[in-house]
């Protein structure tokens, strides 16, 4: 026990010392086209590398090497012998950005070999919008998507991603304005129905939500959103104390969520309460 406490103390002490050399205050999401240092591992070894968009537009970390710190911010570097790339997924990890005046310490240049600087074009803006949405940064996502639209309004998937972004920002009317024309051309697209039903229920438009739910179940072979769609409708019927609609969709919602324990628990709570209201 004492040994573990000592190790933890030494780790925190060393990390605090490292913070005197580098500032760990930036998310990887905000480090595109930058050299960064990851927090140390349990042995107080730091990994450093470069953040960029790969050929598939994934936010990616390319490891350049590792290092330890010895007194007065002296670095003991070990360069990687092979290229190791990792897709960056959303996290709360804070990293330190390596500023240009520190490049010589790491023996690095502006960017690694075989990595190209991110181009400012419609496709890049579109995928950055998608990435920002993944991280829950919906305002930044919308900014990127609007830039993409300005450069190429016909880029594949742009309108779908904008509709999702508007829904995430609570701008349901804007989402509906995009989704309804999309569904006219894609009447069997389960994802579009999911977003539209979500928007209508958030606006309290139960009849419109029910109408689209019926067509989603009738037309879409992709059934993975049916449980979610039914739950949106059932929840609004519950909130509005619409006994008829609640009863009509209760069994359907249970059936489509039979493998979702949390949803079934919520349905049961609503069902018991609705019986009390009768």
pLDDT tops 90 at residue 84:
yes
Give the pLDDT confidence of 52-69 residue by residue, as tens digits.
999 999 999 999 999 999
15 confidence band (pLDDT: 50, 70, 90): very low
- What mean pLDDT do residues 4-20 have? 48
Q: What is the mean pLDDT of residues 248-276?
A: 97
Count of residues making up the chain? 278
Residue 159: how many CB atoms within 10 A of its CB? 18
* CB-based contacts of 147, cutoff 8 Å, min separation 6: 122, 125
Q: Which residue has the higher pLDDT, 212 or 4?
A: 212
List of E strands, the chain = 24-27, 34-37, 46-53, 59-70, 74-87, 94-97
Q: What number of CA atoms fall less than 13 Å from residue 159's CA on the CB side?
A: 15
Name the strand (E) or helix (H) holding 164. Answer: helix 158-168
Q: Are 75 and 47 in contact (CB under 8 A)?
A: no
Confidence of residue 34 (pLDDT cuts 50, 70, 90): very high
246-to-257, 261, 275 alpha-carbon distances in Å:
15, 19, 11
Does the structure show a pLDDT above 90 at 106?
yes
Say what the pLDDT of residue 5 is. Answer: 44
Quick check: 115 pLDDT over 70?
Answer: yes
Indicate the pLDDT class of residue 7, thresholds 50, 70 and 90: very low
When pLDDT is averaged across residues 8-35 and rounded to a whole number, the result is 73
Share of the chain above pLDDT 90, in %: 86
Which CATH architecture is the domain 122-277 placed in?
Alpha Horseshoe (1.25)
pLDDT (0 to 100) of residue 18: 56
Cβ distance 67 to 41 under 8 Å? no
Per the DSSP assignment, residues forming a β-bridge with 76 are 68
pLDDT of residue 19: 60
Q: What is the pLDDT of residue 11?
A: 42
pLDDT value of position 278: 85
Rg of the chain taking only CA atoms, in angstroms: 25
- Reported as a single tens digit per residue, the pLDDT across 173-223 is 999 999 999 999 999 999 999 999 999 999 999 999 999 999 999 999 999
Instruction: For residue 110, give both structure tokens.
Output: 């502006």
Query: Which percentage of the chain shows pLDDT scores above 70?
Result: 93
Angle at 221 between CA 247 and CA 235, to 5 degrees: 30
The full DSSP string for 194-258 is HHHHHHHHHTT-HHHHHHHHHHHHHH-S--TTHHHHHHHHHHHHHHTT-HHHHHHHHHHHHHHTT
Tell me the domain boundaries of the chain: 2-106, 122-277
């Amino acid at each position: 026990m004492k040994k573990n406490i000592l190790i933890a103390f030494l780790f925190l002490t060393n990390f605090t010392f490292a913070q005197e050399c580098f500032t760990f205050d930036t998310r990887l999401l905000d480090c595109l086209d930058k050299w960064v240092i990851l927090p140390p591992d349990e042995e107080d070894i730091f990994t450093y590398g470069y953040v960029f968009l790969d050929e598939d537009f994934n936010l990616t970390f390319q490891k350049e090497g590792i290092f330890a710190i010895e007194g007065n911010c002296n670095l003991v570097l070990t360069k990687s012998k092979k290229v190791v790339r990792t897709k960056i997924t959303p996290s709360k990890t804070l990293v330190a950005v390596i500023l240009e005046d520190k490049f010589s310490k790491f023996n690095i240049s502006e960017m690694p070999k075989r990595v190209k600087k991110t181009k400012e074009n419609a496709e890049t803006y579109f995928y950055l919008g998608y990435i920002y949405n993944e991280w829950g940064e919906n305002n930044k996502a919308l900014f990127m998507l609007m830039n993409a639209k300005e450069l190429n309004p016909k880029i594949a998937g742009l309108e779908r991603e904008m509709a999702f972004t508007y829904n995430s920002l609570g701008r349901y009317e804007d989402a509906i304005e995009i989704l309804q024309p999309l569904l006219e051309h894609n009447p069997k697209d389960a994802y579009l129905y999911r977003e539209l039903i979500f928007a209508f229920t958030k606006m309290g438009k139960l009849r419109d939500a029910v109408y689209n739910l019926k067509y989603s179940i009738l037309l879409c072979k992709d059934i993975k959103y049916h449980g979610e769609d039914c739950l949106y409708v059932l929840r609004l019927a519950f909130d509005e104390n619409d006994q008829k609609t609640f009863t009509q969709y209760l069994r359907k919602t249970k059936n489509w969520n039979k493998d979702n324990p949390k949803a079934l628990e919520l349905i049961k709570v609503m069902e018991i309460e609705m019986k009390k209201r009768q």
